[in-house]
Structure 1
Amino acid sequence: MSNPDIQSADASELSPEQRLEPPNTRLINAGIVTINDMETLQECVAYENAHQNRPQILRRLKSKADELREDEE
């Protein structure tokens, strides 16, 4: 099965819900990998904290934040 919301959207336009609520973990990972700015990352962390609060997803988001900070240097 595919998610038409994700297929039709540019990765930079995905909502936190679209990034973090797909039907399988590979799509969640893809949603996190395509985060390119801290604002989007912070929105995803807030969404995850409010809705699922899954430690493994929060760790992936933290790792992505560390990566974005390194890229800013």
Structure 2
Amino acid sequence: MESGSLTPEQRLEPPNTRFINTGIATIHDMETLRACVAYENANQQRVQILRRLEQRASKIRSRDD
């Protein structure tokens, strides 16, 4: 399942920072999530965003079990 056509940059660097949570919440597959983690690690390295991505990964994993 693909999480839409948003790039990691579009999800994590929206024009309005209030949309970051929405960008993360709409990730539905591990491939997209890994791409977002890689993007964040390579660019901003914001601990809070990486934590949110980690929480999203846990939800995806528990859903897939």
**TM-score scaled by length of structure 1:** 0.82
Q: Kindly indicate which of the two structures has a greater share of residues assigned to helix.
A: 1
What is the percentage of aligned positions where both structures have the same residue? Answer: 63
- Residue 58 of structure 1 corresponds to 50
Structure 1 gaps of 5+ residues are 1-10
Structure whose CA Rg is larger = 1
Aligned AA (1:70): S
Distance 1:56 1:44 in 2: 13
The farther-off stretch of 36-45 and 24-33 is: 24-33
Aligned residues: 63
1 or 2 for the larger relative contact order (CA 8 Å, sep ≥6)?
2
Q: Following TM superposition, where does structure 1 have runs of at least 4 consecutive aligned residues deviating by more than 4 angstroms? A: none
State the Cα RMSD in Å: 1.0
